[in-house]
Structure 1
Amino acid sequence: MTDISLLSATANRHPLLWPLLATLLIIGWSSGFVGIRYANQEAGVMLLLFWRTLLSGLILLPFALSIGPRPSMRTIKDQALFGIMAVFLYLGGFALAIEQKVPTGLVALIADLLPLAIAALSQPVLGERLTRRQWLGTAIAVVGVLIVSFDSLSFGTAPVWAYGLTVGSMLIFAVASVLHRRRKTQAMPVHQSLCIHTLTGSVLFGLCALTQGSLSPPLTRDFAVGMIWLVFIATFLAYAVYYTSLRLFPVAKVSAAIYLSPPVTMLWAWMLFSEPLTGAMFAGLAVTLVGVWMTSRG
């Protein structure tokens, strides 16, 4: 098992480590849009999430079994609980909300307010007190996210519970992140924990997908491209970097980088799907950058 104090000392000795991890986190977190854009045309969201988590877990399984310590049943149960919270309830909650016709722009905005919830939880649960400058940076980053998301916001006609589901999913992931940081002394290697998380999610997503039909994947190019993207970038890169960063840095600092995912997602859409960029998006990006810099530097 990796020694946490050694990792923290390493992080402090290398000032470029956090910028590198933050960049990878932003790329991985925002790239989920690309895989879903490719694959969702071919399959429902529950089937898509089932294959995303199943393939991720199966690829990691040989490494989880052969590299690293042998985990106890208690540790496996703990990690399975994190998998239910951070994979099944988080991803599945937002997917179900979109199926219930909650506007995608509103779902994305609520998801991207995750760092605000984590910042609020970090002090009472972890004792990680944010400075005034960090709270100001958080407020500025939220304003930037609102500017980026403003044009796509609408309220739609979904049932009231579906809107509550989006907020609940975001809060569940915030709680899971804080608990993961709190239990860092019992952490297993990231590839083992992520394997358990994704396989746990695949079982639950599979049960949900079965209620909607077959588990057979569409044998199409777009679905295959979407799966490759979702597994290797949106899952392996995003989650692995996120969990690694939580072990090295304060949780509020790590989560603040997620504020940059909306404008970076807009850049993905422009590069790959020729979706237009607006002046408001660039203004929101600039404001968000200032807020994230203030929060991380503090």
Structure 2
Amino acid sequence: MGRQVGVLGQVATALAAAAFVGSWSSGFVIAKVATVDVAPLTLLVWRFVPVAVGLLVVTLATGAARAVPHADLRRQAVIGLFAQLGYVVLVYAAIAAGVATGTTALIDAVQPLVVATLVGPLLGLRVRGAQWAGLAVGAVGVLLVVRSQLGGSQAPAAAYLLPLAAMACLVAATFLERRSPARPPVLVVLTVQVVVTAAALLVAAAVAGELAPPADGAFWVATALAAVFPTLVAYGLYWWLLRRIGVTALNALLFLVAPATAAAGAVGLGESLTAVTVVGFELCAAGVAVVLAVEARAARAAAPAPAPVNAAAQPAPPRTGPRTRS
């Protein structure tokens, strides 16, 4: 029975990882399509505000945050300012400035190396030699995937600092989360982060005069897709997988976001897809497979040995010492 549960858990984790890569990648494509005629800030406001209201209602109705200390809620609010507000605003700004979707995802995909080299030692995480090799192979794959997009970009040089800053925001959020002494439920985490992000976006959009949405059905379709997939699904799975497989394995999965984004861009946006891109896909997959395999092997080695099946049935040894009254 335990073996069956373990297999089901591995299947669930694999499906969650695939859904995470797909939903995270969708955010780049939706941003590219939806911000052609609409200011990025307008789309972001209406992407987050309805989700914030819905999450707040569900959280209050279920009482999920009742037992969470206020200090943990404040900590999640700070994490949300980095992980959601800072990250999505900078990604949308980069794409609106003309940086290709695959190139934006490429710069964000550098995060695993930053986490491994800078954040990992601060958290006391050990990155094994085989994992370093896997991360390096994945990095090469990412570079190959988006190489053709770099040449055709019309974005100014300064625009490439925007996805770099977005990546730094996500690294900071990951670091703060791993240093947190408590782990609130994922529903509470999402609610706090989305509510804080929505409030900040409302203020920014009102000040910039970009709060009013357009009367276009396509805008609301894009907003709904952005609310469901890159907001609810992607971020929910990010924090869930972070707890289940660890920061090294999760950040290895981010290497797959750039190839997935480039593939979606080729199919839906007409961006280039060459034989070099396919080779990059294969290298990314190989690098991620190495990192995940090493992480799984280390987890099995660290797991405590199961107790003998008949241990509970063994009679207690006879007492030979003197009896004392309590």
TM-score tier after normalising by the smaller chain length: 0.7 to 0.9
Instruction: Give me the TM-score of the superposition, normalised by structure 1.
Output: 0.87
Q: 2 CA distance for matches of 1:178 and 1:11?
A: 29
Q: 2 CA distance for matches of 1:90 and 1:17?
A: 27
Q: Which residue of 2 aligns with 1:220?
A: 216
Alignment of 1:114-263 (within 5 A): 114-154=111-151, 158=156, 160=158, 162-183=159-180, 185-263=181-259
**Higher RCO, 1 vs 2 (CA within 8 Å, ≥6 residues apart):** 1
> % of aligned pairs identical?
29
- Mapped contact 1:54–1:202 kept (Cα < 8 A): yes
Identify unmatched segments of 5+ residues in structure 1. Answer: 1-9
Check 1:133–1:253 CA distance in 2 against 1; reply closer, same or farther (3 A cut): same
Q: Which residue of 1 aligns with 2:12?
A: 17
Q: Which residue of 1 aligns with 2:32?
A: 37
Q: 2 CA distance for matches of 1:101 and 1:267?
A: 18
Instruction: Give me the TM-score of the superposition, normalised by structure 2.
Output: 0.80
Which runs of structure 1 show a deviation greater than 6 angstroms over 4 or more consecutive aligned residues?
10-13
1:266 to 248, 262, 266: 262
Structure 2: which amino acid aligns with 1:96?
A
Q: 2 CA distance for matches of 1:149 and 1:232?
A: 27
Provide the aligned length of Structure 1 versus Structure 2. Answer: 287
Shift of 1:288: 0.5
- Mapped contact 2:48–2:197 kept (Cα < 8 A): yes
Identify unmatched segments of 5+ residues in structure 2. Answer: 295-326
- Mapped contact 2:29–2:101 kept (Cα < 8 A): no
Q: 1 CA distance for matches of 2:102 and 2:32?
A: 14
Q: 1 CA distance for matches of 2:101 and 2:7?
A: 39
In structure 2, the residue corresponding to 1:186 is in which secondary structure?
Answer: coil
Tell me if 1:287 matches 2:305: no
Structure 1: which amino acid aligns with 2:145?
V
Alpha-carbon RMSD? 2.4
Q: Which has the larger radius of gyration?
A: 2
Higher mean displacement: 132-141 or 71-80? 71-80
- Mapped contact 1:118–1:175 kept (Cα < 8 A): no
- Mapped contact 2:65–2:188 kept (Cα < 8 A): no
- Mapped contact 2:32–2:95 kept (Cα < 8 A): no
